[in-house]
Chain A
Amino acid sequence: MAKILAVTIVLIAIGSAIPIVMHMWPMPPDISVHGVLIDEQYADTMAEAGISFLASQFLLAFFIWKFSSPKPDATIKRFPGGAAGLVVAAFLLVGTEVLALGVFGTRAWASVYLTPPGANAMPVQVQAGQFAFYFRYPGPDGKFGPLHPDQINEATGNFMGLDTTHDQDSKDDIVTAEMAIPVNQEIHLLMHSKDLGHSFYVPELRVHQDFVPGLDLSVHFTATKVGKYEIVCTQLCGLGHYNMKAYLEVMSQEDFANWLKQQAALQ
Chain B
Amino acid sequence: MHDTSAHAVQHGAPTGFLRKHVFSIDHKVIGKQYYALALLAATVGMVLSWIMRIHLGWNSAAIPGLHLLSKTGAPGDVLTPEYYLQLMTMHGTIMVFFVLTTAPFAAFGNFFLPIQTGAEDMPFPHFNMMSFWVTFVAFLVLVASFFVSDGPTLGGWTQYAPLSAVGSVAGPGQGLGVVLWASSIAIFCIGQLLGSLNFITTTLDMRTKGMSLMRLPLSAWAWFITSIMGLTAFAVLMPACILLILDHVAGTSFFVPSGLVINGQVLPHSGGSTLLWQHLFWFFGHPEVYIAIVPAMGIVSHVLITNMRRPLLSHRVIIACMGAIAVLSYMVYGHHMFVSGMNPFSSLAFSFPTLVITIPATIIVLMWLGSLYGSKLRINAASLFALGFISMFISGGISGFFLAQPSIDIMLHATYFVVGHFHMVMAVAAMFGIFAGTYFWFPKMTGRMMNETLGKLHFWLSFVGAYCIFMPFHYLGIAGNVRRYQAFTDDYLIPLIPVHKFITVAALVTGLAQLLFVYNLIYSRFKGAPATDNPWEGTSLEWSTATPPPHNNFGDTMPVVYHDPYQYSVEGASSDYVMQTSPEQINAPDEK
Q: Which residues of A are in contact with B by a Cβ distance under 8 Å?
A: 1-2, 5, 8-9, 12, 16, 19-20, 24-28, 37-38, 41-42, 45-46, 48-49, 52-53, 56-57, 59-60, 63-64, 67-70, 74-79, 82-83, 86-87, 89-91, 94-95, 98-99, 101-102, 105-109, 112-114, 129-130, 149-150, 152-154, 161, 193-197, 199, 201, 203, 206-215, 217, 230, 232-243, 245
Q: Does B310 contact A (CB under 8 A)?
A: yes
Q: Across the interface, name the chain B residue whose C-beta is closest to A205.
A: B410
Q: Given contacts A45-B401, A45-B402, is CB(A70)–CB(B478) below 8 Å?
A: no
B340:A212 contact, CB within 8 angstroms: yes
B71-100 CB mask vs A (1 if < 8 Å, else 0) is: 000000000111001000000000000000
16 example contacts (A-B, Cβ-Cβ < 8 A) are as follows A19-B472, A45-B402, A70-B377, A83-B317, A86-B370, A101-B405, A109-B344, A150-B261, A194-B260, A199-B414, A201-B480, A208-B413, A232-B490, A236-B85, A239-B82, A242-B484
B355:A102 contact, CB within 8 angstroms: yes
Q: Across the interface, name the chain B residue whose C-beta is closest to A239.
A: B82
A57 CB contacts on chain B under 8 angstroms: 391, 394-395
B321-363 CB contacts (< 8 Å) to partner A: 339-341, 344-345, 347-348, 351-352, 355-356, 358-359, 362-363
Q: Given contacts A19-B475, A45-B405, A236-B156, is CB(A241)–CB(B85) below 8 Å?
A: yes
Cα A150 to Cα B81 with chains together (Å)? 29
A74:B345 contact, CB within 8 angstroms: no
B395:A53 contact, CB within 8 angstroms: yes
Minimum Cβ distance to chain A for residue B218 (Å): 14
Q: How many residues of chain B are within 8 Å of chain A by beta carbon?
A: 111
A59 CB contacts on chain B under 8 angstroms: 369
Q: Does B476 contact A (CB under 8 A)?
A: yes
Q: Given contacts A41-B407, A76-B376, is CB(A12)–CB(B341) below 8 Å?
A: no
A232:B81 contact, CB within 8 angstroms: no
Q: Given contacts A12-B467, A241-B85, is CB(A74)–CB(B410) below 8 Å?
A: no
Q: Does B13 contact A (CB under 8 A)?
A: no
Cα A109 to Cα B413 with chains together (Å)? 14
Cα A129 to Cα B260 with chains together (Å)? 10
A95:B359 contact, CB within 8 angstroms: yes
B259 CB contacts on chain A under 8 angstroms: 149, 214
A53:B411 contact, CB within 8 angstroms: no
Q: Does B163 contact A (CB under 8 A)?
A: yes
Task: Across the A-B interface, give the 3 residue pairs with the lowest CB-CB distance, nearest first.
Answer: A214-B257, A77-B374, A83-B314
B367:A234 contact, CB within 8 angstroms: no
Minimum Cβ distance to chain B for residue A105 (Å): 4
B369-398 CB mask vs A (1 if < 8 Å, else 0) is: 111111111110000100100110011001
Q: Across the interface, name the chain B residue whose C-beta is closest to A191.
A: B341
B399 CB contacts on chain A under 8 angstroms: 49
Cα A57 to Cα B170 with chains together (Å)? 46
Q: Does B61 contact A (CB under 8 A)?
A: no
Which of B345, B359, B391 interacts with A90 by CB under 8 Å?
B359
Q: Given contacts A28-B479, A210-B341, is CB(A64)–CB(B260) below 8 Å?
A: no
B491:A74 contact, CB within 8 angstroms: no
A210 CB contacts on chain B under 8 angstroms: 339-341
Q: Across the interface, name the chain A residue whose C-beta is closest to B256.
A: A213
A114:B313 contact, CB within 8 angstroms: no
Which of B340, B345, B367 interacts with A86 by CB under 8 Å?
B367
A105:B407 contact, CB within 8 angstroms: yes
Minimum Cβ distance to chain A for residue B135 (Å): 27
Q: Given contacts A152-B264, A234-B413, A237-B163, is CB(A68)–CB(B395) below 8 Å?
A: no
B475:A25 contact, CB within 8 angstroms: yes
Cα A38 to Cα B262 with chains together (Å)? 36
A60:B376 contact, CB within 8 angstroms: no
Minimum Cβ distance to chain B for residue A127 (Å): 10
Minimum Cβ distance to chain A for residue B110 (Å): 31
A113:B341 contact, CB within 8 angstroms: no
B387:A238 contact, CB within 8 angstroms: no
20 more contacts with CB within 8 A, not counting A53-B398, A82-B314, A195-B261, are A16-B395, A25-B478, A52-B398, A56-B369, A57-B394, A60-B369, A76-B309, A79-B373, A86-B313, A98-B358, A101-B405, A149-B260, A196-B166, A197-B162, A208-B410, A210-B341, A214-B258, A214-B273, A215-B274, A245-B489
Q: Does B266 contact A (CB under 8 A)?
A: yes
Minimum Cβ distance to chain B for residue A231 (Å): 10
B411:A86 contact, CB within 8 angstroms: no
B372:A60 contact, CB within 8 angstroms: yes
Q: Given contacts A25-B476, A67-B376, A238-B163, is CB(A230)–CB(B341) below 8 Å?
A: no
B356:A98 contact, CB within 8 angstroms: yes
A75:B480 contact, CB within 8 angstroms: no
Cα A83 to Cα B310 with chains together (Å)? 14
Cα A197 to Cα B156 with chains together (Å)? 13
Which of B344, B401, B490 interacts with A101 by CB under 8 Å?
B401
Residue among B275, B370, B407 facing the most chain A CB atoms (10 A cut-off): B407
Minimum Cβ distance to chain A for residue B330 (Å): 19
A2:B377 contact, CB within 8 angstroms: yes
Q: Across the interface, name the chain A residue whose C-beta is closest to B375.
A: A67
B257:A213 contact, CB within 8 angstroms: yes
A42:B408 contact, CB within 8 angstroms: yes
Q: Given contacts A75-B569, A213-B260, A239-B81, is CB(A41)–CB(B490) below 8 Å?
A: no
Which of A63, A87, A106, A230 interacts with B369 by CB under 8 Å?
A63
Q: Across the interface, name the chain B residue whose C-beta is closest to A194.
A: B261
Cα A251 to Cα B365 with chains together (Å)? 51
B402-420 CB mask vs A (1 if < 8 Å, else 0) is: 1011111111011100000
Q: Given contacts A94-B359, A240-B81, is CB(A102)–CB(B341) below 8 Å?
A: no
Cα A189 to Cα B484 with chains together (Å)? 25
B513 CB contacts on chain A under 8 angstroms: none
A239:B394 contact, CB within 8 angstroms: no
Which of A78, A87, A217 interacts with B374 by CB under 8 Å?
A78
Which of A90, A106, A236, A239 interacts with B366 by CB under 8 Å?
A90
A102:B163 contact, CB within 8 angstroms: no
Q: Given contacts A76-B376, A239-B82, is CB(A206)–CB(B467) below 8 Å?
A: no
B387:A60 contact, CB within 8 angstroms: yes
A70:B407 contact, CB within 8 angstroms: no
Minimum Cβ distance to chain B for residue A64 (Å): 6
Q: Does B171 contact A (CB under 8 A)?
A: yes
